[in-house]
């Protein structure tokens, strides 16, 4: 009978192994005893795939198969912050390195390297899209549940309604709530800023009459803040650094010198720019790939980069991949806009032509 069981055992498919090492990036040492959780993409979304603990050397091994319907996520949580290793379909699942970091309520070396504010007057009101790029060059995550990591001004006309997506380094955008602070019209977002680049995308609508003053302020410690309007919209205000138009869509960019601004807007976005760009491009997903491919070659030419970025911006809807390897689509007008713009300024390293250190009131 033994030979029968041997044959049956040999005919049964063996489970694949997902294995690797959890490394504490703050100390540079293996993180022992930490729980590693597996999530597999199923027909309706992520599904639990098991868990296990890392040994004294930080090594873990899970007897499970990776998902064939999407990425597989390997996660671990340290000091209240969750870290994720993404395994795309068909990629090796053994010998992985999952980096985790100690966390602190102090920002340390974290800074807002870029802040873009896009104004789009419509018949329904003024649509404002903001994008923040946080740069954390240290080895500790910034996690401040009490005060939040992002604090921003939301005009009273928005009535507290704001859509927020937060994207951790090499991650996917996650919907996050905003909470009021004890200061009028100032809100906070509790989302850890891990080492690397973290992005916040905000979208809200407020009533506005063309030509009337619109006031706003920046309460985060930004290095560079830019006010942007599409073709067909004119922006006027004091203490702005006019960085000019880009030739393809004539979108206009202004550098903000102070921590507050008062502007007036007239006109509406020119639909001819959208039609022109749509006729010259094919499909949002391809455009996202083209953007990823062309950006590294254009470090020395700001104008062509802006032309490409705002051409994609004018389409309003695309699937944007961070890199071909990760293959994770970004969907929605808000994420498309901020991803395109931040990618442009990140690739160029564009600086507002004014002192970057501004006092925050």
Judgement on whether residues 76 and 144 belong to the same structural domain of the protein: no
* Co-location of 63 and 191 in the same domain: no
Same domain, 96 and 139: no
Q: Do 166 and 305 belong to one domain?
A: yes
Same domain for 44 and 8, yes or no, is yes
353 domain residue, yes or no: no
Q: What is the pLDDT of residue 349?
A: 55
> How far does Cα 42 stand from its chain's mean position?
24
**Which tens digit of pLDDT belongs to each residue from 318-329?**
223 233 333 333
Are residues 93 and 28 part of one domain?
A: yes
**Whether 155 and 285 share a structural domain:** yes
Q: What is the pLDDT of residue 46?
A: 80
Which helix H or strand E contains 50, and what residues bound it?
strand 45-53
Residue 68 pLDDT: 78
Per-residue confidence (pLDDT) for residue 250, from 0 to 100:
76
Nearest alpha-carbon partner for 281 in 270, 268, 294: 294
Using the 3D structure, point to which of 72, 101, 130 is the last residue of a domain: 101
Report the pLDDT value the prediction gives residue 346, as an integer from 0 to 100. Answer: 54
Is there a single domain that holds both residue 96 and residue 115?
A: no
Tell me the C-alpha distance between 110 and 142, whole Å: 8
- Max CA pair span of the chain: 90
What pLDDT does 122 receive?
92
Beta carbons of 172 and 328 less than 8 angstroms apart: yes
- The pLDDT score that the predictor gives to residue 336 is 52
- Asked if residues 235 and 262 have their Cβ atoms less than 8 Å apart, the reply is no
Q: Is residue 356 part of a domain?
A: no
Give φ, ψ of 36 to 5 degrees: -110, 125
The last residue of one of the domains, among 81, 101, 121, is 101
| Residue 135 forms part of a structural domain | yes
CATH number, position 48: 2.60.40.1120
Q: What digits encode the pLDDT tens for the residues 179-214? A: 999 999 999 999 999 999 999 999 999 999 999 999
In a domain, 359, yes or no: no
Contacts of 9 (CB under 8 A, 6+ apart): none
- 143 and 171 part of one domain: yes
Q: Is residue 121 part of a domain?
A: yes
- Give the model's pLDDT for residue 44: 79
Place of tokens 């960085």: 243
Q: What is the CA radius of gyration of the chain?
A: 23
- Mean pLDDT, 10 residues at a time, the chain of 361 residues: 44 65 98 95 82 96 84 94 91 94 96 94 94 96 96 97 95 93 97 97 96 95 92 94 82 92 93 56 36 28 38 33 33 47 53 48 40
Task: Assess if residue 360 is contained within a domain.
Answer: no
- 95/121 same-domain check: no
Residue 106: inside a domain: no
Q: Is residue 325 part of a domain?
A: yes
3-class SS of residue 92 = coil
Give the range of the structural domain holding residue 81, as residue numbers without chain letter: 2-101
Domain match, 186 and 55 both:
no
CATH number of the domain to which 204 belongs: 2.60.40
- Structural domains in the chain (count): 2
Residue 247 confidence (pLDDT): 72
Residues 178 and 208 in one domain: yes
Q: Which of 78, 101, 124 is the last residue of a domain?
A: 101
Task: Report pLDDT for 133.
Answer: 96
What value does the mean pLDDT of the chain take?
Answer: 78
């Amino acid at each position: 009978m033994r030979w029968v069981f041997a044959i049956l055992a040999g005919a049964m498919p063996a489970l694949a192994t997902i294995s690797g090492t959890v490394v504490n990036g703050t100390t540079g040492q293996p993180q022992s005893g930490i729980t590693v959780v597996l999530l597999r993409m199923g027909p309706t979304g992520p599904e639990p795939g098991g868990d296990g603990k890392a040994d004294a050397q930080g090594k873990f091994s899970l007897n499970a198969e990776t998902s064939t319907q999407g990425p597989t996520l390997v996660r671990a949580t340290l000091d209240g912050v969750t870290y994720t290793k993404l395994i795309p379909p068909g990629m090796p699942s053994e010998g992985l390195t999952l980096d985790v970091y100690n966390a602190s309520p102090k920002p340390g070396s974290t800074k807002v390297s870029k802040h873009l504010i896009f104004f789009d007057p419509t018949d329904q009101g003024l649509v404002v899209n903001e994008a923040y790029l946080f740069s954390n060059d240290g080895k500790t995550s910034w996690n401040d549940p009490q005060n939040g990591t992002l604090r921003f001004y939301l005009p009273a006309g928005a009535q507290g309604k704001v859509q927020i997506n937060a994207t951790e380094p090499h991650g996917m955008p996650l919907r996050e709530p905003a909470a009021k602070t004890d200061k009028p019209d100032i809100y906070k977002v509790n989302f850890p800023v891990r080492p690397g680049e973290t992005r916040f995308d905000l979208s809200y609508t407020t009533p506005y009459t063309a030509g009337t003053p619109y006031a706003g302020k920046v309460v985060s410690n930004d290095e560079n803040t830019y006010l942007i309007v599409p073709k067909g919209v004119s922006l006027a205000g004091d203490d702005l650094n006019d960085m000019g138009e880009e030739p393809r869509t004539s979108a206009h960019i202004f550098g903000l010198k102070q921590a507050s601004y008062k502007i007036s807007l007239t006109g509406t976005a020119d639909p001819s720019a959208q039609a022109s760009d749509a006729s010259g491009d094919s499909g949002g997903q391809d455009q996202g790939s083209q953007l990823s491919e062309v950006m590294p070659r254009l470090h020395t030419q700001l104008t062509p980069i802006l032309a490409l970025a705002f051409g994609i911006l004018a389409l309003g809807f695309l699937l944007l991949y961070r890199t071909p390897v990760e293959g994770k689509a970004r969907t929605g007008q808000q994420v498309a806009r901020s991803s395109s713009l931040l990618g442009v300024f990140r690739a160029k390293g564009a600086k507002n032509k004014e002192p970057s250190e501004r006092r925050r009131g």
